[in-house]
Amino acid sequence: MLQYDFRQAHLVAIDNVVFGYDQGQLKLLLFERNIEPSKGGWSLVGGWVKPDESVEDAAYRVLTNITGLSNLFMEQVEVFSKPDRDPGGRVISVVFYALIDIKAHDHQMVNQYGAKWWPVNKLPELIFDHGVMKDAALQRLRIKASRDLVGRDLLPAEFTLTQLRNLYNCIFMKEFDPGNFRKKIISLNALRRLDKKDLSESKKGAYYYKFKNKSADQFTERIINI
């Protein structure tokens, strides 16, 4: 166990880019930092990696502690390790992104930690390199969403194709053609249409859909061309 040289050890942290979707907007969960350096600035959802856990376990632990949610979708993004990236000291940070249903998580716990949901296109100034981390995570989310339907973790269980399209509009920051988007999504055969309509947005009403089953949102086929 001790044949390796432990003199050159590093502090390793994780930072989670937590995406949520609410009121037609893609949002990010941010913390108001209450310790120096950069006290008062806004940061991603971070924490230390413990000696006997993987970085994945650390990222998951930190996020479930705050949101009260389990079975979160999380994916590794990239390591940030410039020696001066954190003015408080040399910290290597592994970035993850997570997708969560804003309605489902424990708001009280989030509030108690001083966290707040911000629309991705109206973010406050982020500390350190967290802005770059967010950009990298969004790019990874786009790659994910270009191959798999990402609605399951962000939308309520029952949703309209218009809602799904709006989520994709937010993720890719462009307007998808309603007819073509509908055609493509239905061709994937991953959603089941319910005999129930949302009448709040139009006179005709839009059918509610739900995901068929757990594995049906994993495609090999491309949904969005990026």
CA atoms within 13 A on the CB side of 221: 10
Q: Does 139 bind its own copies (CB under 8 A)?
A: no
Shortest Cβ distance from residue 56 to DNA (Å)? 32
- Does 155 engage in binding with DNA (CB under 7 A)? no
Residue from 59, 63, 160, 217 binding DNA (CB under 7 A): 160
200 counts as binding its own copies under rule CB under 8 A:
no
Calpha distance 127→112 (Å, rounded)? 21
Near DNA by CB under 7 A: residue from 199, 213, 215, 220: 199
- What is the pattern of x (binds its own copies, CB under 8 A) and - over residues 73-92? ---x-xx-xxx----xxxxx
Question: What tokens appear for 136 in the block?
Answer: 């990298």
Find out whether 95 and 15 touch, Cβ atoms under 8 Å.
Answer: yes
Q: Per-residue contact track with its own copies, 28 to 47, x per CB under 8 A?
A: -------xx-----------
Burial of 32 (0-12, 13-18, 19+ CB in 10 A): middle
Nearest Cα residue to 161 out of 203, 119, 194: 194
60 CB burial (10 A radius; 0-12, 13-18, 19+): buried
- DSSP H/E element including 119: strand 115-119
Query: How far is residue 173 from each of residues 34, 83, 138, 165, 222, measured CA to CA in Å?
Result: 32, 33, 11, 11, 18
User: Out of 54, 178, 189, 218, which residue is the one contacting DNA (CB under 7 A)?
Assistant: 178
Of 22, 24, 39, 54, the one binding its own copies by CB under 8 A: 54
* Nearer of residues 50 and 193 to DNA, judged by Cβ: 193
Cα–Cα distance measured from residue 117 to residue 136, given in angstroms and rounded to the nearest whole number: 19
The reply on whether position 4 binds its own copies by CB under 8 A is yes
Q: Which is nearer to DNA, 38 or 162 (CB)?
A: 162
104 binds its own copies (CB under 8 A): no
162 near DNA, judged by CB under 7 A: yes
Strands 91-100 and 42-43: unpaired
Nearer residue to DNA within complex by CB, 11 or 186: 186
Among its own copies, DNA, none, residue 205 binds (CB under 5-8 Å by kind): DNA
Q: What does the alpha-carbon distance between residue 93 and residue 43 come to, in Å, rounded to a whole number?
A: 13
**For binding to DNA (CB under 7 A), which residues are involved?**
160-162, 177-180, 182-184, 186, 197, 199, 201-207, 222, 225
**For binding to its own copies (CB under 8 A), which residues are involved?**
1-6, 8-12, 35-36, 48-56, 76, 78-79, 81-83, 88-92, 94, 222, 225
